[in-house]
Structure 1
C-alpha cells in the first residue's frame, strides 16, 4: 500500500515529495507448534503480528534478545521492527519452533 503524504502545503508549496510507503503488518500464524510462514521479509517500521491457533501459549523470542513477545493460546502478539538486519526467533516454551525475519531499510 502506498500512502501519499504532502506536508508541503504547510509551507505554502504546491509540490509534493515522492510518495511515502506506509508501514505494513506482516502476519504469521502459529498452528500445530509451528510458525507459518517460517521466514518472512519486512521493512523497518513494519509490524509483525503472530496469531496463535494453538491451545497452548507460545513466545516469539529474538535470539539477539531485542524482543520477547508472549502469545497466549488463541491470542495475538505484536512487535514493531526498528532496524534493518536478519532476526532469528524461537519459542522459549517450544525451542524447536523457529523462524526468521529479514528486515530491509525503508524503500
Structure 2
C-alpha cells in the first residue's frame, strides 16, 4: 500500500472512531436586569438556557424568531437550529440585550 493510501486509510479510521460532538447547554444568567454573559458562542444543536434570578419576568426575544418567557426565579431554554448571529432582547425591558453567535456543527 502506498504511503498516500495508508495515510488516507488512517485518517478515515480516525474519523470513524471519533465520537460525534456532544451538544452543550450554555447558561445565561439574568440578574439586576442584565443578561450575563451578554454574548455567547454556541453550535447548532446546543441549548441556550436563561436563568432568571430577578423578581421580575423577562423574555429572550429574537425579532421574527423565538420568544422565550422567563418568569421570576425560573428558567427557560431554546435549542439552536441554524448557524448565524442572533440578537435578542427582553420585550418588557428593551434595554436588556444579548447576542448568540451560532457556528455550524
- Scaled by the length of structure 1, what TM-score is found? 0.82
1: CA distance between counterparts of 2:89 and 2:80? 16
**Greater helix fraction, Structure 1 or Structure 2:** 2
Aligned positions, number: 92
What is the Cα-based RMSD across aligned positions, in Å? 1.6
Question: Which stretch shifts more, 67-76 or 17-26?
Answer: 17-26
* CA drift at 1:28: 0.2
Listed one character per residue, the Cα deviations across residues 30-81 of structure 1 (whole Å, up to 9, x for unaligned) are 0000000000000000000000100000000012x22000000000010000
Aligned: 1:99 with 2:89: no
SS for the counterpart of 2:95 is coil
Q: Which runs of 5+ in 1 are unaligned?
A: 1-14
Paired residue for 2:25? 25
Paired residue for 2:88? 89
1:2-81 superposed matches below 5 A: 17=16, 18-63=18-63, 65-81=64-80
2: CA distance between counterparts of 1:50 and 1:81? 13
SS for the counterpart of 1:22 is coil
Q: Which runs of 5+ in 2 are unaligned?
A: 1-13
**Is the radius of gyration larger for structure 1 or structure 2?**
2
